[in-house]
Amino acid sequence: MASKIKFNSDKATERDGALYTKFKYENSIVSTDAATGSLQVTPTSVDYEFKVDLKVPKLGLMLVGLGGNNGTTLQAAVLANKHNISFENKEGVVEPNYYGSVTQSSTIKLGVDASGNDVYAPFNSVLPFVSPNDFVVGGWDISSVPADKAMKRAQVLDVDLQKKLRPYLEGKTPLKSVYYPDFIAMNQKERADNVINVDSKGEVVTDRKWADVEQIRKDINEFKTANKLDKVIVLWTANTERYADVVAGVNDTADNVVQSIKNNHAEIAPSTVFAVACILEKVPFINGSPQNTFVPGVLELAEKHQSFIGGDDFKSGQTKMKSVLAQFLVDAGIRPISIASYNHLGNNDGYNLSSPLQFKSKEISKQSVVDDIIDSNKILYNDKKGKTIDHCIVIKYLNAVKDSKVAMDEYYSELMLGGHNKISIHNVCEDSLLATPLIIDLVVMTEFFQRITYKKELDSDDKYENFYAVLTLLSYWLKAPLAKPGFQPINGLNKQRLAIENLLRLLVGLPVNNDLRFEERLL
């Protein structure tokens, strides 16, 4: 396997370009005794065999919103790293890097050395991953502005870097995208000059939604063929849409959502059109915005076609902090009773979010991040004390700050014997430079998950199964992660990271991670 690390484990065997690993999954099933109310805990175990295809494919990434801040920053990052383009800002020479990316710039614990001290290795050295330097990037945008001018319009990157990247981006225009005016703010209308869904007079129409699906499918196949790609992944980094109403008979089942697209129903959003097109092509689709793209019918369609989906909404700055800090407080036995979050930003995302319906989508995704944390502690949150946190979220558009998003948070908590604790955080972040590494990680990991299959060891045949259609292991990078029906999403950042790390460890035959450190603690 393509790694500088040799794993000496009798649980993992490499043959025919694949890695086969045996793993005993151990857990505990908890039930409640109806008579006494006591909890009954029963350890369980299931034997699995995992198979990892070790061949790294040639990968195409198609972005919806290619000409936006995230889209242009992603293109710039790939080009700067691929061609080793350094540049100068007021602080000196900056070398290209992928800081902020887990897959490219973080490490994973392998074990301990002879003295019992932890040993780490680069995350992407454990197993073969696609390199973002090798991404073939394309996609769609409702704006026809070429990539070099879109990069300038975004006002994210230093001018010296923009000048050096311009020769690679000049004249590159995005594919025509889908624009249904009802779903994004009216202030985006002026940008919408590069649209699929127009009539013979060039006027925007919304009565050809199935034709839009077919055009997107055609675009994906032509992009794949033209660039001689093995795989394509599509990711939505376009404007936040309003929430679509979930209506019985319209978007509640797979058959209904397809028929509703063909009937041009008003509650079919552009992002849903893209998602359905990708599912029908068995191309993974990731939603990086907060709207409910994956209505029940789309989720069922993904299950039916066994096509991967992931979402919702990039978890970059304020919400990532919230998923750590709220977990810390509750795990410490401290009771947060209110969280007040205020944001202002001046990029086009902020401009779009100044519309109330689009803001509502963002508010929902930001609020849900503490739900499972509250549910984890019935001592702090119960019928007597209350089962919720008073959670307020405000987002304001302020043109002057451009891409430097300002976030201010106050966590107000109850301590013992009537005491209180207040934590205030002021966080200024360059929004697109935080979000773009998340795009890289989502794409790298989604492609990797496509190469993993498994079977229960008790199964007699050699049929290996893919992961479930909703890639819940992507939750680390997403504010409002999807979950399999019947399961609650996990929002705690440390839990999400541990799940990914342990998956990589078990795939190479290592035990799941723990911090017992018996080497140090026992005689």
Spans of all domains in the chain: 12-55+451-514, 59-314+434-440, 318-431
Say whether 362 is catalytic. Answer: yes
Own/partner pairs for 104-109, CB < 8 Å, 24+ apart? 104/132, 104/437, 104/440, 104/441, 104/444, 105/437, 108/501, 108/504, 108/505, 109/501, 109/513
pLDDT digits (tens, 9 = 90+) for 220-248: 999 999 999 999 999 999 988 999 999 99
* pLDDT tier for residue 258 given thresholds of 50, 70 and 90: very high
* pLDDT tier for residue 41 given thresholds of 50, 70 and 90: very high
Q: Are 478 and 366 in contact (CB under 8 A)?
A: no
Query: Phi first, then psi: what are they for 58, rounded to 5°?
Result: -85, 120
* pLDDT tier for residue 35 given thresholds of 50, 70 and 90: confident
**Of the residues 322, 372, 405, 409, which is catalytic?**
405
Residues 457 and 23: their CA atoms lie apart, in Å, by 9
pLDDT digits (tens, 9 = 90+) for 173-185: 999 999 999 999 8
pLDDT digits (tens, 9 = 90+) for 443-452: 999 999 999 9
Place of tokens 């993993």: 452
Residues 502 and 493: their CA atoms lie apart, in Å, by 14
**Of the residues 209, 322, 362, 366, which is catalytic?**
362
pLDDT digits (tens, 9 = 90+) for 343-369: 888 777 776 676 677 766 666 766 778
Q: How many CB atoms lie within 10 A of CB 201?
A: 6
CATH of domain 12-55+451-514: 3.30.2360.10
Lowest-confidence region among 75-79, 391-395, 501-505:
391-395
pLDDT at 363: 67
Q: How many CB atoms lie within 10 A of CB 261?
A: 21
**Of the residues 148, 219, 313, 372, which is catalytic?**
313
Say whether 134 is catalytic. Answer: no
Tell me: pLDDT of 76 over 90.
yes
Residue with more model confidence, 345 or 170: 170
**Of the residues 11, 164, 209, 479, which is catalytic?**
479
DSSP percent split of the chain into helix, strand, coil, nearest 5: 35, 25, 40
H/E stretch holding 341 reads strand 335-345
Tell me: pLDDT of 1 over 50.
no
pLDDT digits (tens, 9 = 90+) for 375-391: 999 999 998 888 889 99
Give the whole-number percent of the chain exceeding pLDDT 90. Answer: 74
Residues 214 and 333: their CA atoms lie apart, in Å, by 53
- Give 135's contacts (C-beta < 8 A, 6+ positions apart): 59, 60, 61, 78, 443
Q: Which CATH class is domain 59-314+434-440?
A: alpha beta
Mean pLDDT, residues 31-56 taken together: 93
Say whether 479 is catalytic. Answer: yes
Dihedral of alpha carbons 424, 428, 432, 438, sign: negative
Ramachandran assignment for 282, one of left (phi > 0), alpha (psi -120 to 50 degrees), beta (any other) = left
* Level-2 CATH architecture, domain 318-431: 2-Layer Sandwich (3.30)
- DSSP sequence for 60-123: EEEEETTTSHHHHHHHHHHHHHHTT--EEETTEEE----TT-HHHH-EEEEEE-TTS-EEEEEG
Share the mean pLDDT of the chain.
92
Residue with more model confidence, 123 or 1: 123
Please return the burial class of 401, using the count of CB atoms within 10 Å of its CB with bins 0-12, 13-18 and 19+. Answer: middle
pLDDT at 354: 67
Report how far Cα 50 is from the mean position of its chain's Cα atoms. Answer: 24
* pLDDT tier for residue 2 given thresholds of 50, 70 and 90: very low
pLDDT digits (tens, 9 = 90+) for 304-329: 999 999 988 899 877 888 888 999 99
Give the whole-number percent of the chain exceeding pLDDT 70. Answer: 97
Lowest-confidence region among 59-63, 85-89, 277-281, 395-399:
395-399
pLDDT at 321: 86
pLDDT at 256: 98
Tell me: pLDDT of 205 over 70.
yes
pTM of the model: 0.92
